[in-house]
Amino acid sequence: MADSLIAGGAARRATWLLAGAAMVLVLLAPAIWNGFPIIFPDTGGYLIAAMTGTPMLGRSALYGLFLSAGIPFAFWPCVILQCALVAWLFVVTLRVNGLGGRPWLALAIVALTTVTTSLPWFAGQLMPDILFAAAVLALYLLAFAQNHPADDRLARWERYALAAVIAVAVPSHMAAAALCVAVIAALWLLSFIKQLSLPTPRLSFAAAAVIAGIALSLVSNLALIGKFGFTPGGSSFLFGRLLEDGIIEQYLEDKCPDPSLRICAYQDEIPELADDWLWGEGTAFYKLGSWDGFAEEQGRIIRDTLWLYPLEHLTTAIVATLGQLISFETEVSIHDNEPTFRTFADLVPDLVPALMSARQQHGQPDVVPLNKYLYVPVGALAIGGLVVALIFRRRLALTPETAALCFTILLVLVANAAICGIFSHPVDRYQSRLVLLAPFVVAILAAQRWRPPVKA
C-alpha cells in the first residue's frame, strides 16, 4: 500500500512537471518562433536605467536590472521566468476555483488562452507588461482564496510567493503601482455594499505587499540611479494627454505671452499628439529640459488648468477612460524599435546579430488579422461573458470564489482604463495586457460547467 502511494505521488509529480514544462513552451511559442525574445521600443530604456544609472522617463531601473541579468543567455531566462510565473498563477487560480489536480486541463486552458489572446506576446516580451496580469491574479488570490474550503487554501509559501509577485510588480511600472493601490482600495470600499453578495476580501496581506513594493521602488531607484523617489516622469504623461486633448493649447492661447512661462517661446511648434511631444526628437519638451528640467513649470500648468478648465478636465477624463476601455488590440512593434537597437549597439553589442536576425526585425508578425478575427472579438465576448456570469451567478451556481474572480477582473479593467486613459492617454497595449485575463476566466467558467470540480 505504501509503495503504491509513493508510486502514485511520483507519477502525479511527473505528470505535473511534464504539463508545467508544456505550459511554459506554449507561452514561449511566439518568442521561439521569432528567434529572439520579443522587444519593444521601450525595452532599451529599461536597460539604460539599470546598466548606466541614468534615470529614464517612465522606465523602471529594477525591471531593467532583471533584464540585464539575462544578458549572458540572450535574455531567454527572463522570458522563461515570465512564462513560468504565468503558468503557476493560472494553476493556482484553477485550484482555488475547484479545478485543481488536473494538469492536462490546466495545460489546455493555458494553450487556449495563448491562442486566443495577447498573453504569449506579453509573456515572451522584454517588457514588464506581463507583471500587470500577474499582480492582478496575485491580488485576487490573496484577497479571496483563503475563503475556500481548507483543502484548496493557499499554502503559507504560496501566500508569500504571491506577495512577492505584487511587491516586484509595483516598482516595475508606476501604472502597475497605481492599479494595485486602486484595486485594493476599491475592494475595501465595495466590501461594504452587501448587495454585491461577494466574499469579504482579506486585504491586509495584499496591502502589505503593495506597501513593500512602494518601498522597493524608492530603495531600488536610490541604489540603481541614485534617486530616492519613484520612476521619473509621471506628470509628463499626464501633460501629454492634456496636450492631446487640447487643454494645453487653450491654456497657452489664454496665457501667452507670459515671461514666467518658458513654454510660450515654443507655442507654435508644440505637436498635437502626446507621443510626438514625449518621444519625438528635438521637441519643445526636450528643449525645456525634459521630465526633470520642465517638471516645475509642467506641474504649475497642470494645476492651473485644473482650476481654469474643470469641466474640460472632467469631460476629457471620462472620454479618455471610455476610449481606453474599448481599446485593446494587441501591439507587436515592427517598425519603431530603433531606440532599442541603439541601446543594444551601445550596451550589449554581442547580441546585436541575434537581435537583428529575429523575424520581428524582418516585418513579422502581422497581428492585424489576429486582432480583427481573434483577439479583439474574443476579448469583447469574454468581457460580456463575465458580466452575464455575474448577473446570473445564482442560476449558474457560481462559487463565491469564482464570482469574486469575475468581479475582480471587471473591476481591474475599469480601474486600468481610468488610470492609463486619464494619466497617460488611451493606448491599446495598456488595456490588452489585462483583457487577456477575461478569456482565461471564461475558460474557468466553462470548465466548471462541463465537469464536476475535482479537488487537488
3-state helix, strand, coil in the chain (%, to 5): 75, 0, 25
pLDDT for res 268 = 85
User: What type of residue sits at position 456?
Assistant: A
Nearest to 74 by CA among 355, 334, 340: 355
Number of H helices, E strands in the chain: 24, 0
H or E element in which residue 293 lies: helix 290-293
C-alpha cell at 60: 523602471
Nearest to 429 by CA among 330, 323, 335: 330
Nearest to 66 by CA among 155, 168, 206: 168
User: What type of residue sits at position 206?
Assistant: A
Cis peptide before 37 (omega within 30 of 0): no
The answer to whether 448 and 98 have CB atoms below 8 angstroms apart is yes
- Annotated domain spans of the chain: 2-231+328-450, 234-308
C-alpha cell at 29: 511559442
Gap between the Cα atoms of 210 and 167, Å rounded: 6
C-alpha cell at 130: 506581463
pLDDT for res 152 = 57
Reading the chain (456 residues) residue by residue, the pLDDT tens digits are 444 445 556 888 899 999 999 999 999 999 999 999 999 999 999 999 999 999 888 899 999 999 999 999 999 999 999 999 999 999 999 999 999 889 999 999 999 999 999 999 999 999 999 999 999 999 999 999 865 555 457 889 999 999 999 999 999 999 999 999 999 999 999 988 888 888 889 999 999 999 999 999 999 999 999 888 888 777 889 999 999 999 999 999 998 888 999 999 888 888 888 888 888 877 888 888 887 888 899 999 999 999 999 999 999 999 999 999 999 999 999 988 999 999 999 999 999 999 999 999 998 888 999 999 999 999 999 999 999 999 999 998 899 999 999 999 999 999 999 999 999 989 999 999 999 999 999 999 999 987 654 444
pLDDT for res 269 = 85
The answer to whether 85 and 430 have CB atoms below 8 angstroms apart is no
The answer to whether 83 and 406 have CB atoms below 8 angstroms apart is no
CA 185 to each of CA 174, 201, 278, 323, 443: distance values in angstroms, whole numbers, following the listed order: 17, 11, 31, 23, 28
Gap between the Cα atoms of 338 and 327, Å rounded: 25
Question: Residue 392 burial by CB count (10 A; 0-12/13-18/19+): exposed, middle or buried?
Answer: exposed
pLDDT for res 40 = 96
pLDDT for res 112 = 97
pLDDT for res 146 = 67
C-alpha cell at 186: 476599491
pLDDT for res 439 = 98
C-alpha cell at 247: 487643454
CA 257 to each of CA 96, 243, 265, 322: distance values in angstroms, whole numbers, following the listed order: 62, 18, 8, 35
Gap between the Cα atoms of 293 and 286, Å rounded: 9
Gap between the Cα atoms of 198 and 105, Å rounded: 27
The answer to whether 238 and 424 have CB atoms below 8 angstroms apart is yes
Gap between the Cα atoms of 229 and 274, Å rounded: 24
Nearest to 345 by CA among 32, 35, 63, 48: 48
pLDDT for res 197 = 82
Nearest to 382 by CA among 451, 446, 452, 453: 446
Gap between the Cα atoms of 131 and 82, Å rounded: 8
pLDDT for res 267 = 86
The answer to whether 340 and 67 have CB atoms below 8 angstroms apart is no
Gap between the Cα atoms of 445 and 406, Å rounded: 9
C-alpha cell at 222: 536610490
pLDDT for res 454 = 46
CA 364 to each of CA 10, 31, 357, 378: distance values in angstroms, whole numbers, following the listed order: 43, 12, 12, 23
pLDDT for res 270 = 87
* CA 124 to centroid of chain Cα atoms: 13
β-strand partners of 38: 125
Give pTM, 2 decimals.
0.93
Gap between the Cα atoms of 377 and 442, Å rounded: 14
